[in-house]
Amino acid sequence: MPKEIIIPEGTSKPLAPYVPATKANNIVYVSGTLAFDENNNVVHVGDAAGQARHILETIKKVIETAGGTMDDVTFNHVFVKDWADYAAINSVYAEYFPGDKPARYCVQTGLVKPDALVEIASIAHV
């Protein structure tokens, strides 16, 4: 099965051996995405809603580069550092999925950078 590596213009260089997304059989697997600028610095420090918006905009760019839209997202993996941020993250999340919602799970965990408050990975069928 051939696969296509998806790296949108302006995306930060990954911190480890992975790519922003891989597309195979019209399925886009988006790597765990954090609120990083192009130099891998966390943006919107202390602002979970701001980080969620940045992450979802990055995911949107990845999926559009792969030929899809946010309506094509079928599953999201959401990781939060603190449950206290859950409502703020959900309010932004709902803006990006106003119609039929994708399936998802959400867990509390530590993230790769101390200032990161949320991470989202996605699967889309384009």
Catalytic residues: 106
Spatial separation of the C-alpha atoms in residues 126 and 66, rounded to whole Å: 8
Quick one: which of 35, 10, 7, 9 has its CA closest to 23? 7
**Angle, helix 48-65 to helix 86-96, in steps of 10 degrees:** 30
Helix (H, G, I), strand (E, B) or coil at 121: strand
How many whole angstroms separate alpha carbon 44 and alpha carbon 50? Answer: 6
